Structure 1
């Protein structure tokens, strides 16, 4: 258990936080599992074996990045293009990690980095809500992340096995699952009118950047713009 006299002193790392995070995230993870099936299908159609698709999901754990990587897959594999694109998409995790820093700064490095391995958009949102409530559950991120990992990898395997049968997953509306999950999480993260300005800035910048900048950089640019706005507002 990690304790200290500083503002992060109330943050602990125990089985209760791990269990709460896991159980709370199961419904969200189950929903994201539909997106995992879609990835497994696409991976199978791109020529990846079930084991290869499962290994990618187990080690990358980033749905949007994995889908884009599969869309770029070819023979020979365009390694540079895939790495650059995936890097751009996943840069947002640096902002998400920074948001967790006030609670995690006094935890052991092994616990922090072990938890951050399982960081995805959905369990980050749930963890931020939980920590802001004053729960002090430092293990919440790890517990919720394990739930996401189990369902993501499991659904990838299901999709990879069914790849030759399902066909195009978008015809079943599976591609909308992730958008629906994000809408639900956005409602949970809404903090009144104070949330409106950074959200609108992120929306405007990302939409504008998507029309101008190639690739997936609009995701990062929207997040950075919102972060800058928040820093300016609080410093002011």
Structure 2
């Protein structure tokens, strides 16, 4: 991979895109597999129960690559499936990736062509959280995001396929701890994003309050998730903008 340098931005440091950065992303992403693999196994087991073949499960996992929307799509799956309803449901859930992508602008704004589109394709909540944490720690190689995303994509597809293959032999009850692995992973990655109560508590509380309010109003899934995501993102963006204005000379 040729070394790529983007123009300097406000920190005065240049964004690069190198093989070394990609491999750093791969190595840093290995611990994330502990949460991704159980989640993928669950998706594989459920897809088998919905009548999808192994090839269909692998294709869905490889192209969609989004656990929450895949689970919702499988919930809505019927025989024959209502493709339009399933696609709209997946789109609604994945709208949350819009603010996540905007938050990664410190790297994405400096990429073009295959570097940009491949990085966007493999970006999920896990790689977003870890990339933000690495950037705050001084990482300036945008290939970190791509390497991290490729590893998580491979782990996701492989675990979904394994879940499909093992689903017929292992019948798990709905209360099995395996089904909590995905939730536990999302909670754990918040640790990497923590900067302090002043910066993080307000948007996190706003996200939680909005999601709980939507749930109390009995809004259908995934509206509580979206309400929480956008409430937290909007307040966080407003706080960041205020901080940036205050830091100007």
TM-score (norm 2): 0.89
1:204 aligns with 2:209: yes
Counterpart for residue 247 of structure 2: none
1:55 counterpart = 2:48: no
Provide the aligned length of Structure 1 versus Structure 2: 236
Corresponding residue for 1:216?
222
**Is residue 84 of structure 2 the alignment partner of residue 80 of structure 1?**
yes
Residue 6 (str. 1) matches residue 12 (str. 2): no
Distance 1:205 1:2 in 2: 41
Per the alignment, residue 245 of structure 2 pairs with: none
Aligned-pair CA distance for 1:102: 2.7
- Measure, in 1, the Cα distance between the counterparts of 2:66 and 2:240: 31
Distance in 1 separating the partners of 2:176 and 2:239: 43
1:12-52 Cα shifts (integer Å, max 9, x gaps) = 11011100101111111232101111110110111001111
Native 8 Å contact 1:40 1:155 kept in 2: yes
Q: 1:129 aligns with which of 116, 125, 133?
A: 133
Distance 1:233 1:41 in 2: 42
Give the match for residue 97 of structure 1: 101
User: Does the C-alpha gap of structure 1 residues 229 and 170 become closer, same or farther in structure 2, counting only changes over 3 Å?
Assistant: same
Relative distance call for 1:101 and 1:234 in structure 2 (3 A) is: closer
Residue ranges of structure 1 left out of the alignment (5+ in a row) = none
CA-based RMSD: 1.6
Taking a change above 3 Å as real, the CA distance of residues 42 and 196 of structure 1, as seen in their structure-2 partners, is same
Q: Which residue is equivalent to 1:138?
A: 142
Q: 120, 130, 137: which is aligned to 1:116?
A: 120
Residue 227 of structure 1 is aligned with which of 204, 214, 233?
Answer: 233
- In structure 2, the residue matched to 1:164 is 168
Cα separation, 2, equivalents of 1:169 and 1:150: 27
**Structure 2: stretches of 5+ with no match in the other structure:** 243-249
- Greater share of residues in helix: 1
Give 2:156's aligned residue: 152
Aligned partner (choices 43, 46, 54) of residue 42 of structure 1: 46
1:165 counterpart SS class:
coil
Contact 1:41 1:169 in 2 (8 A): no
TM-score, length-scaled by structure 1: 0.94
Question: What is the CA-CA distance between 1:86 and the residue it aligns to?
Answer: 1.1
Moved over 4 A (4+): none
Q: Secondary structure at the match of 2:227?
A: helix
Q: Offset of 1:220 from its aligned partner?
A: 1.9
Preserved CA contact (<8 Å) 2:39 2:179:
yes
Residue 20 of structure 2 is aligned with which of 13, 16, 21? 16
Larger CA deviation: 104-113 vs 175-184: 104-113
Structure ranking higher on relative contact order (CA contacts 8 Å, 6+ apart): 1
For residue 234 of structure 1, report the CA deviation from its aligned partner.
4.0
